[in-house]
Amino acid sequence: MTLETILPPERVLFDVPGGSKKRVLEFFSTFIAQNIPSLDSQEVFSRLIGRERLGSTGIGNGVAIPHARSPHCTSPIAGFLKLSEAIDFDAIDGDPVDLVFVLLVPEEADDTHLSLLGQVATIMNDANTRQQLRKAGSQRELLELITAKIREQSST
C-alpha cells in the first residue's frame, strides 16, 4: 500500500481556508464524507479531534499529519491540504501549520497505518519538499509536486 494509491488528485486541495485547527478538521471531514458516502462527516471529525486530544499531530516545520481510525473506512484514505494561511495547530515546535496531510485508516489496519504515517513523515520532513509545496501556485502544480515526492520516496 503506497500513498499514491490512496491520494487521488481530487483529494489534493490547494488554498484551503484555515482559521483554526478545528475548522480545518471540520472542512476535511465534510469534504471526505461528500466524496466517500460510507463515511459520516461528524464521525470522521470526532475521530480526528479525539486523536488531537491525545497530542497534537503538528509535527513541526509548518506540517501537521492528523490521522485516525474509522470503523466505516474500508481501506486507507489520504488527503493533502495546502492552507491559504498558516494556523495554530499546537505543533511541537510552536510554529503555525500550512501543510496538512490527513490519513484515515480502517479500525484494524495497524501495520498499514504505521507504514503510511512513516511515508508521510519522511516526505514532509524534507525542507526542500516543504519549500516547493509552499511555492506551488495552483492545484495542478501542488498535485504534480506531491505525486513526484511520493514516487521518489516509494522508490527508495
Instruction: Confirm if 154 and 4 have CB atoms less than 8 A apart.
Output: yes
For residue 79, the 8-state DSSP code is E
> Judging by beta carbons within 10 Å of its beta carbon (0-12, 13-18, 19+), is residue 20 exposed, middle or buried?
exposed
Provide the phi-psi class of 17: left if phi over 0, else alpha when psi is between -120 and 50, else beta: beta
Whether 113 sits among the annotated catalytic residues: the reply is no
Which of 67, 82, 113, 149 is the catalytic position? Answer: 67
User: Distances from the Cα of 35 to the Cαs of 6, 55, 151, in angstroms?
Assistant: 13, 28, 24
Q: CB pairs under 8 A, 24+ apart, for 34-42?
A: 35/10, 35/11, 36/77, 38/72, 38/73, 38/74, 39/70, 39/72, 39/73, 39/104, 40/72
Catalytic residues, by residue number, are 67
